[in-house]
Structure 1
């Protein structure tokens, strides 16, 4: 892999915000702070085409995030009022979060992938949702004194409900409706059910969202009402990426690089190795649960250090591997792990 975002890489290593950068003709990367998260920032992208101004993944909505995005627009020679389109590669708060605020300024349309689901916020009664999620955590074997920490909370659910809805839905192979039509949708489900990437052949860039990142393995979680087999979807999406190695990858986190196909293959290999690790733990435990397996897996920060959202993501990712093993015809090997244990409490 060739690191092309040298200043971004240096900033990542030094744990500081990278600069706004012009990454191609009419295209800028803008770091937008992601408060209280180890990822630290989201890389939003501004795309200028004639009279159109598109913002891709505007970032998490916070006072500093708004300042960051406005500063990036200023470098590109425009203001929030000039934005004509907003696209999020997926519905997570660090991507779609600022879309509602930006639309109020500009009246711009908001687009998501055709298959994207806001499954985490697809509820009517927040308290019932919390109760169902707590039951799932208990089914997963989470100790009683950690259930509240791992389960969804009321404030978080209310925040998700406030995310903007899409005005447009875009599909695989379809150009984004801005002047020139050079940005084309690539559907890459896995990280979320309707995650999309964008290919721009004229600029030789590939906006990868969270599907392919240069250093970390993006989280793939099994969630209520989400993709019933998200890891399988992710692996299939990685198989679909066969790009010219000269194309530059513009991810939503970390830094720019070249070597997309090789990195996609590496991510698939790492995921399959993780599933092998999970399978070995199942076979070695008399009464395996999501918790008992997750707590024995290798985590970069160590399982004991995980808390809050990071703990939840670790458990949901482990559950995704368990579901993948179940749907891979390994019934005998996972017979000690019931379907209820993997999926959790029914809704």
Structure 2
């Protein structure tokens, strides 16, 4: 893998914000702060073509984030009012968060993938949803004194509910509707059910969102009403992009690089190795739960250090591996995983 974003990598290592950069003809990389999160910032991308200005993954909505994005637009020679389109690779707050504010001041359309169902915020009553999530945490074996931090709370759910809705849905092979029409949508479910990437054949760049990052393995979580087998979807998505060698990858986090096929194969290998680790623990435990498996897995920061959202993500990722093993015919039943209808169709229980 060849690192092409040298300044971005240096900033990542030194835990500072990277500079705004013109990374290809008409494409700018703009770091937008992601407060109180280990990822620190999201790399938004501006595509400026003729009368169009597209913002890809505008970032988390905060006062500083708005200043960051406004400064990036200014460096590209445009303003907030010049934005004509906003596209989020997926619905997470560090990608879609600022879309509502941008649309209010620019009138721009907002696009998401056709399959990007906002399942986490697809609830009728936030209090009932929180109670259901807490009940699921109990079936996963989470100790009672850790449920509050692992489960979704009402405030968090309502924050997700306030994320912007899409005016436009784009699917595999669609062209993003800007003047020169050089950005083609690639559906890459896994990190979320409707995650998309953008391929630009003429400029040989691939905007990868969170699907492929140069060093971090993106989280793949099993969530209520989400994809019932998200890891399988992720592996299939990685297979689909293995042929895109020669493209410079513009990820939403960390730094730019070349070697998309290599990195896709590496991520797939890491995921399968993790499933092997989960299977070994599953076979070794007499009464396994999502919690007992997760506590024994190797985590880069160590499981005891995980709290809040990071704890939830670790548990949901463990559940995704357990479900993948189960649907592959090599795992065991573990409470709280998706069940199957008589016709074989999976459904979250």
Partners of 2:285 and 2:239 lie apart in 1 by: 32
Please state if 1:230 is matched with 2:199.
no
Shift of 1:216: 0.6
Say whether the 8 Å CA contact 2:119–2:224 is kept in structure 1.
Answer: yes
In the alignment, which of 315, 318, 337 is matched to residue 342 of structure 1? 337
Aligned to 1:87: 87
Shift of 1:106: 0.3
Say whether the 8 Å CA contact 2:337–2:348 is kept in structure 1.
Answer: no
Indicate the SS of the match to 1:342: coil
Partners of 1:252 and 1:263 lie apart in 2 by: 15
Deviates more, 1:237-246 or 1:61-70: 237-246
Show structure 1 runs of 4+ deviating over 6 A.
344-347
For 1:154-303, list aligned pairs within 5 A: 154-303=154-303
Evaluate the alpha carbon distance shift between residue 346 and residue 171 of structure 1 in structure 2; reply closer, same or farther with a 3 A threshold: closer
Aligned to 1:127: 127
Indicate the SS of the match to 2:127: helix
Partners of 1:346 and 1:314 lie apart in 2 by: 19
Partners of 2:291 and 2:96 lie apart in 1 by: 31
Say whether the 8 Å CA contact 1:319–1:343 is kept in structure 2.
Answer: no
Partners of 2:348 and 2:116 lie apart in 1 by: 22
Shift of 1:122: 0.2
Shift of 1:346: 7.0
Query: TM-score scaled by structure 2?
Result: 0.96
Please state if 1:47 is matched with 2:24.
no
Please state if 1:140 is matched with 2:136.
no
Flag structure 2 segments of 5+ consecutive residues without an equivalent.
340-346
Shift of 1:49: 1.0
Partners of 1:197 and 1:165 lie apart in 2 by: 19
RMSD of the TM alignment (CA)? 1.2
For 1:42-121, list aligned pairs within 5 A: 42-121=42-121
Shift of 1:201: 0.8
Partners of 2:77 and 2:179 lie apart in 1 by: 18
Deviations 1:196-233 (A, max 9, x none): 00000111100000000000100000000000000000
Partners of 1:149 and 1:104 lie apart in 2 by: 34
Deviations 1:82-106 (A, max 9, x none): 0000000000000000000000000
Please state if 1:314 is matched with 2:314.
yes
Indicate the SS of the match to 1:341: coil
Shift of 1:342: 2.3
Deviations 1:129-183 (A, max 9, x none): 0000000000000000000010001111110000000000001011000001000
Indicate the SS of the match to 1:304: helix
Deviations 1:259-312 (A, max 9, x none): 000000000000000000000000000000000000000000000000000000
Indicate the SS of the match to 2:337: helix
Indicate the SS of the match to 1:329: coil
Aligned length, in residue pairs: 342
Shift of 1:343: 3.8
Say whether the 8 Å CA contact 2:4–2:257 is kept in structure 1.
Answer: yes
Aligned to 1:327: 327
Shift of 1:244: 4.2
Flag structure 1 segments of 5+ consecutive residues without an equivalent.
none
Deviations 1:27-68 (A, max 9, x none): 100000000000000000000111000000000000000000
Partners of 1:48 and 1:70 lie apart in 2 by: 14
Indicate the SS of the match to 1:28: strand
Aligned to 2:30: 30
